């Protein structure tokens, strides 16, 4: 069985193709500037072959068609025909109570559309692309693996807000949590690395979008993102945790509407909003090294919030066996890892500075004396979605 995993943006399409018998990655690629009226850059890596092309791509259906054309190319492709693709899996974000893994149908798409204001950067492009692909490739099953599904195991006291109770029942207002595929991968991987199926792990998925998750036995017990992907840690340009009543004051002082202010918080906040430089931590770290105070403040706020959640989860789990850093920032920023783990010896966390500075691949970066192991583990969200997609197609 071969499964294509799709990662969609409003104007982008990234994919990986897996042979699920061996879980071997057969190909990966991406297309940008979809539907922008300009030529897209189309890159595919199929085995040892790298293919680059440039052409105008009208929509996501055309992007998938180009991807399939590359994969079935007689000379450089890895498929004999499109019929070999058993399903397309999507790392979908939010459908409220329709959490879990589902074949894409009208009920799911309507649920995602009705909650587009909760996940405005994610749901609209996914719904649009899924409808296009249903029409263009009716013979290929589409499967949505909702990001919230992994967090269904969180106990009710840690999922509910202290809002009016009927909000949860009638409006689905609760801490749903996201980055489920990444945290699920880390939970499964750490069971193997620690040699335990009951390990207490704190997973720090740090990147353009970031969250922290407490896990016991590979199951989510609490997570930093709440009702929406705008909450929890500061993101690249999203505010993270924020007192909503502050909006009333800013609305009065600026004359802006609530929608305008929420758009600002979700596009001009986070690392970008504090630093005033960039939403990319690499740029911010470089500026901080040069003495930029706002850049350093952005790093300090980001690390302080990560540490705050780790502290909460040490309490919830009654300690931890491991703290794991993953994602683009988690795997590559020794600055963030050092600052997050500093002054944590009370909790049994002691970082090895040399290992932290040099490590980029999977491995332990804590000292031998550290009671809690600190790891870098590259995540693989796509293989998680591929496994879930294969299960649905097989009727499991």
User: Which residues are annotated binding-site positions?
Assistant: 7, 14, 280-282, 328-332, 381
Dihedral pair phi/psi, residue 205, rounded to 5°: -90, 105
Q: Exposed/middle/buried for 395, CB within 10 Å: 0-12, 13-18, 19+?
A: exposed
Give the integer Cα–Cα distance in Å for 43 and 32: 9
Cα torsion angle, 363, 364, 365, 368, sign: negative
- Cβ pair 55, 86 in contact under 8 A: no
- Strands 211-216, 200-205: parallel, antiparallel or unpaired by DSSP? antiparallel
DSSP symbol at 105: -
d(CA 334, CA 354): 10
Name which of 378, 324, 356, 39 is nearest 204 in CA terms.
324
DSSP-assigned letters across all residues of 218-280: TEEEEES--SSTTSSS--SSS--S--TTHHHHHHHHH---HHHHHHHHHHS-HHHHHHSS-S-
Residue 27 near residue 71 (C-beta atoms within 8 A)? yes
How far, in Å, CA of 344 to CA of 48, rounded?
Answer: 44
Rg of the Cα atoms in the chain:
21
Give the Cα-Cα-Cα angle 235, 161, 186 (nearest 5 degrees).
50
Q: What residues form the annotated binding site for Mg(2+)?
A: 7, 381
Q: Which residues are part of a known binding site for ATP?
A: 14, 280-282, 328-332
């Amino acid at each position: 069985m071969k499964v294509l995993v799709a990662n969609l943006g409003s104007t982008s399409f990234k994919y990986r193709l897996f042979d699920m018998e061996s879980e071997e990655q057969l190909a990966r690629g991406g297309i940008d500037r979809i539907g922008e009226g300009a030529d897209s850059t189309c890159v595919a890596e199929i085995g040892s072959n790298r293919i680059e092309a440039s052409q105008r791509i009208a929509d996501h259906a055309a992007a998938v068609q180009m991807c399939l054309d590359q994969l079935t190319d007689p000379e450089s492709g890895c498929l004999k025909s499109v019929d070999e693709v058993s399903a397309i899996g999507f790392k979908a974000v939010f459908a409220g109570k329709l959490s879990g893994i589902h074949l894409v149908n009208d009920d799911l798409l309507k649920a995602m559309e009705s909650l587009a204001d909760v996940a405005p950067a994610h749901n609209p492009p996914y719904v649009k692309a899924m409808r296009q692909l249903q029409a263009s490739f009716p013979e290929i099953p589409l499967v949505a693996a909702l990001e919230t599904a992994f967090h269904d195991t969180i106990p009710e006291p840690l999922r509910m807000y202290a809002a009016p109770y009927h909000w949860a029942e009638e409006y689905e207002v609760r801490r749903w949590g996201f980055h489920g595929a990444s945290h699920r991968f880390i939970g499964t991987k750490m069971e193997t690395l620690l040699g335990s199926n009951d390990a207490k792990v704190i997973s720090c998925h740090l990147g353009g979008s970031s969250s922290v998750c407490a896990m016991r036995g590979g199951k989510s017990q609490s997570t930093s993102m709440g009702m929406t992907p705008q909450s929890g840690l500061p993101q690249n340009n999203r505010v993270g945790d924020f007192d909503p009543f502050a909006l009333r004051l800013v609305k009065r002082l600026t004359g802006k509407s609530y929608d305008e202010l929420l758009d600002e918080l979700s596009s001009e906040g986070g690392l970008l909003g504090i630093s005033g430089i960039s939403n990319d931590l690499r740029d911010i770290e470089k500026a901080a090294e040069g003495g930029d105070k706002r850049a350093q403040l952005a790093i300090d706020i980001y690390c302080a919030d990560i540490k705050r959640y780790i502290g909460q989860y040490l309490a919830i789990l009654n300690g931890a066996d491991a703290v794991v850093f993953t994602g683009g920032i988690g795997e590559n920023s020794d600055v963030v890892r050092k600052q997050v783990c500093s002054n944590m010896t009370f909790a049994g966390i002691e970082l090895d500075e040399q290992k932290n500075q040099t490590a980029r691949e999977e491995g332990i970066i804590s000292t031998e004396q550290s009671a809690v192991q600190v790891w870098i583990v590259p995540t693989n969200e796509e293989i998680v979605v591929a496994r879930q997609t294969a299960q649905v197609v097989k009727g499991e």
